[in-house]
Amino acid sequence: MFEACVVKQQSLIKDFKSRLEELIQARDLETQEMSGASKKNTSKKEYDAVFDTLEFAEEELKLLNYLGKNLNKTHDSPELGAVVETNHGTFFISVSIEEFYVEGKRYYGISTQSPLFKVMRGKHSGDSFTFRDEQYTIHHIF
């Protein structure tokens, strides 16, 4: 499961880098064409936004790599590195990652800053909690 998260994060980073390259090429073309300042401002704002998002994704990859060194730790409550199986899905407490699949099973990566984690923190197997008007029951934590 961990490897699937890393691959997904690396793919995301690759996509951001490709987008930055596209924006750089477009900006170079605009400079050659001497286009309007507002168009350049829009390109600069988008470039800055993508760059900031790329930096965040790279920091999350560093966190994943750190977690990879501590995979043998057992967990009895939701915390960084834990996998939490509930009646509404299985969550890997790590970084925010869209759904991913390992051996046909669906997982979601959530960060310790996510609202869902904040509600489940401190719970144990068998405990229930409500999140966005949905009742969750924790089946297993590992």
pTM beyond cutoff 0.85: no
pLDDT over 90, % of the chain: 67
pLDDT tens digit string along 33-54? 555 555 556 678 899 999 999 9
Provide the Cα torsion 28, 34, 36, 38; round to 10°: 30
**Predicted local distance difference test score (pLDDT) of residue 71:** 74
**Predicted local distance difference test score (pLDDT) of residue 32:** 53
Alpha-carbon Rg for the chain, nearest whole angstrom, is 20
Number of helices (H) and strands (E) in the chain: give both, helices first: 3, 6
